[in-house]
Amino acid sequence: MLSRHTRSADVLIVGGGIVGASVAYFLRALGFTGRIVLAERDFAFLWGSTRHSMGGIRRCFLSQVNVRLAQFGHEVYREIERHLSFDGDAPPFRPVGYLLLADGRNWSLLHAMHSRLRTWGLMPEWVGREALPQLLGWELEDSLVGGLYCPGDGVLDVPRVHAALYRRLEELEVETVRADVDRILVEGGRLVGVEAVLVEERARVRWKVPRAVVAAGAWSPKLTAAAGEYLPVESRRRAVYSFALEKRELPESLPPLPFLLLPGGEMVALRGEELLLSIPAGQAHEEDAALAVLRRLGPYGRGGRLLSGRSAVHDVHVRDYSPIVGPCPRAEGLWVAAGFGTYGVGLAPAVGFGLAERILRRRRATLPLDFLTPSRITQAAWVEEALLG
């Protein structure tokens, strides 16, 4: 039988990915001095989505609320070295652009997005098929008809940023605990505690806590269900492959490679000497499918040596493809941040800041999180968004 312990905290955050860590960071940044506990079952982050993220940072979305959150995140990452300290000279964020390629399947959707974004003050460029080779440096297949190019967006080195964020949390005296949270305790419509197994001690612990944030990715629905909160969030797996590049063998005239989102949901990014390639999982021969995408990448697809392949599990809100962020109506004191799909990294700063504001009950909220609260599920007040990757 496991021994039992009782502890207390002022705020407990379940999930140590970049969303949960951002909530902890911004609570401190906004002046909260109480005890913050961040509970994560695997600090190696082997199964969550953060450390396996491709790092694409874009502000191009179909809904204005997601655009606003992405703009906030872009500003934070553009000046990330003001917030966090890094070793080495390589910039954590490279604004090489973000290109959403179009074929007959998504052409009309990307054109609609282009029109909306320009009315909201962003200036993405529609790149016709004839201009794609100049932008990318190679000829593309005939099925592609153009693309939506977002200059100033780009690629974030997520593992470096996530590790630097944890070093900062330690300086800010945020307590990190390796624990497998399995119960949210609610009495009379109010959060009273959180139970977990301490992984290293093999002991059960109950935290008496008035406020908790569930940011546990694909595992969030199981936890909130105990509080009577249904989240229409599903786990979706992606296969991520890393290829070594010999940059000396690439043409000197080759332009910088933007982050690529292909019509079939495949993603491509360059990170240092590695080419990262992500495809939706579930295909019969995933590695062969990845190699087929690689061969479509012109000079980048020649001579790339496979370094590794791994799986990333993403939490997707299947009703409107936008995250669920805010207080749980049936459990006062319980907050949730889940359903981000593949763009949790890009929205994490805004969600962290916005939740911190609301947890601290700031009178004027800066960001429009009210459109994303769990209550919209029962009200069927959906956000208009598209699942692109």
Q: Please, what are the domains in the chain?
A: 3-52+160-233+318-379 (3.50.50.60), 93-154+235-315 (3.30.9.10)
Q: Mean of the pLDDT values across residues 142-169?
A: 96
% of the chain with per-residue pLDDT over 70:
98
* Band of pLDDT at residue 186, cut at 50, 70 and 90: very high
Q: What is the chain's Cα-based Rg?
A: 21
More confident residue, 47 or 358: 358
Neighbours of 39 (CB within 10 A): 26
Are the beta carbons of 324 and 219 closer than 8 angstroms? Answer: no
* Band of pLDDT at residue 230, cut at 50, 70 and 90: very high
Q: Mean of the pLDDT values across residues 89-99?
A: 94
Please tell me the predicted confidence (pLDDT) of residue 47: 74
Please tell me the predicted confidence (pLDDT) of residue 2: 66
Q: Mean of the pLDDT values across residues 93-100?
A: 98
Q: Mean of the pLDDT values across residues 162-174?
A: 97
Q: Mean of the pLDDT values across residues 170-181?
A: 97
More confident residue, 281 or 249: 281
Please tell me the predicted confidence (pLDDT) of residue 363: 64
% of the chain with per-residue pLDDT over 90:
78
Tens-digit pLDDT profile for residues 338-368: 999 999 999 999 999 999 999 998 766 789 8
